[in-house]
Copies of this chain bind each other. A is one copy, B any other.
Amino acid sequence: MPEFLSLHTPKEALNLLLEKIQIHITSEEITTETALGRVTAEPIFSPYPLPSFSRSAVDGYAVRAQDTFGASDSLPAYLHLMGEIPMGAEPRFTIGPAECCLVHTGGMLPVGSDSVIMLEQTQIVSDYEVEILRSVATNENVLLIGEDVKEGELVIPAGFRLRPAEIGGLMALGLITVHVIKKPIVGIISTGDEIVIPSEQLTPGKVHDINSYSLSALVEDTGALPVRYGIVPDKLETLQSIAEQALQECDLVVITAGSSASSRDLTAEVINRLGKPGVLVHGVNIRPGKPTIMAVCEGKPVIGLPGNPVSAIVIASLFLVPTIKFLLGSIDSKPNPYIEAKLTVNIPSQTGREDWIPVEIIQTEEGIFANPLFSKSNLIFSLTRADGLVSIPSASTGLDAGAMVHIYLMRCR
């Protein structure tokens, strides 16, 4: 197989792909309440300060701090009680020397007051008088105008994937719509003469299409829109014509090859005919997934995945997911979270090749263990039994039982 003579490292392969992509996904304006998980198309600035008025941070009495100076249990200050500030309303009086008023957490401070003393540090003397048992500093227990965000401040950068906190933050600012990047459209083509749709009864030699559906789910989970182009037989003209249609209609095209070598060669040939520059990478030094193809045709990414369903999911997680995030302009550069665990058995590996091993997590009193789920040929149900993946870096010749490893969970988002 001449295509494998020079294998790229996974990192090289992804970079070669990303740097040649030339399409730009446009944005759309949607309601903020439906924007969870979407990626901002532009930086968002605050239209006004938050809080937009001085608010009490506690239940207490709004005062002039200077009127409390020196107050203590043994020498209280006595302030005249002007009334109560109702929640959500503007105070109808101001606070002058030796005056105070009751204010609740979140309530608006009246003009003249500059601090709040907590209820617990006061004592009611009468309907009109309060004993102040401690002094407060100016601004104490007060949220000042703009203390959360100032007017015009950048609150969410472009390329940010919106979480529940951001949805809330946008609403706090009255921003009930938001500009987000449109969901990239990802065309998925399955090839292989042995593949039939899942609703069809199997006859000898046939297997059901797995990849179209597992990949659609992964694409959906990454924030893109999967479009399935069905199962295409291992015939150049047919595959060529479907692939051209998909490239025209989608922002990214994924072709999973049939499992045979000839089917994989066919995929590469078809991709090369789709447009320039064509295949950039054919063969990645990784297991599973060596026959992976990375291409850019007419500016759009085209990825050829191995037909084996486990390889297809693992390789899609490592290459398709970051490519979709790239199209989304997502700036998420934070490390992926993991679970540290102790390996139960030795895992041999070949230097120069990066391995990804499905593992199950076993929790015992002695700690958390990663138990590799080896299977002869990456059968799909070895992956459904797995909690996550452990990688063996290319420089390593393998990992020993007892080694501490990072498990990256396979899960929705």
Interface flags for A46-71 (1: CB within 8 Å of B; 0: not) read 00101111000101000000000000
Please tell me if A323 contacts chain B, counting CB pairs below 8 Å: no
Q: Are B106 and A260 in contact (CB under 8 A)?
A: yes
Q: Which of B173, B258, B410 meets A106, CB within 8 Å?
A: B258
Instruction: Give, as a whole number of angstroms, the nearest-CB distance from A264 to chain B.
Output: 9
Q: Of B48, B50, B199, B313, which contacts A165 at CB under 8 A? A: B313
Is A167's CB within 8 Å of the partner chain B? yes
User: Is the CB–CB distance between A32 and B174 below 8 Å?
Assistant: no
Q: A193-B87, A376-B147 are in contact. Are A260 and B198 (CB under 8 A)?
A: no
By beta carbon, the residue of chain B nearest A262 is B104
Interface residues of A in 171-215 (CB under 8 A from B): 171-176, 192-196, 198-211, 213-215
A384 at the interface (CB under 8 A from B): yes
- Tell me which of A14-22, A330-338, A344-352 binds B: A330-338
Residue count of chain A within 8 Å CB distance of chain B: 108
* Interface presence of A267 (CB below 8 A): no
**Does A5 sit within 8 A of B, measured CB to CB?**
no
Q: Are B410's CB and A412's CB within 8 A? A: no
Residue of chain B at shortest CB distance from A91: B205
A263 at the interface (CB under 8 A from B): yes
Is A137 on the interface with B (CB-CB < 8 A)? no
- Give complex CA distance A210, B50 in Å: 13
Q: How far is the CA of A209 from the CA of B33 in the complex (A)?
A: 12
Q: A231: shortest Cβ distance to chain B, in Å? A: 10
- Point out the residues of chain B lying under 8 angstroms from A315, CB to CB: none
The A interface, classified by DSSP as helix, strand, loop or mixed, is: loop
Q: Please, which residues of chain B bring their CB within 8 A of the CB of A413?
A: 411-413
* Copies of this protein in the complex: 2
Contact of A261 among B59, B218, B221, B376 (CB under 8 A): B59
CA distance A259 to B262 in the complex (A): 67
What residues of B have a CB within 8 angstroms of the CB of A410 in the complex? Answer: 163-165
Residue in B169, B210, B307 whose beta carbon sits within 8 Å of that of A172 in the complex: B210
Shortest 8 CB-CB distances between A and B: which pairs?
A168-B214, A104-B260, A88-B194, A106-B259, A413-B413, A148-B379, A337-B337, A164-B217
| 30 cross-chain CB contacts under 8 A | A32-B213, A33-B216, A37-B412, A51-B207, A53-B204, A53-B205, A87-B193, A88-B193, A88-B194, A89-B205, A106-B207, A106-B258, A155-B381, A156-B384, A163-B384, A164-B214, A165-B313, A167-B213, A167-B217, A169-B383, A171-B198, A172-B207, A173-B208, A174-B201, A175-B198, A335-B368, A337-B339, A337-B407, A338-B339, A411-B413
Beyond A90-B203, A168-B217, A338-B339, 13 additional contacts (C-beta under 8 Å) are A52-B202, A88-B192, A88-B193, A105-B259, A107-B260, A108-B205, A163-B412, A164-B221, A164-B410, A165-B410, A168-B210, A168-B309, A338-B338
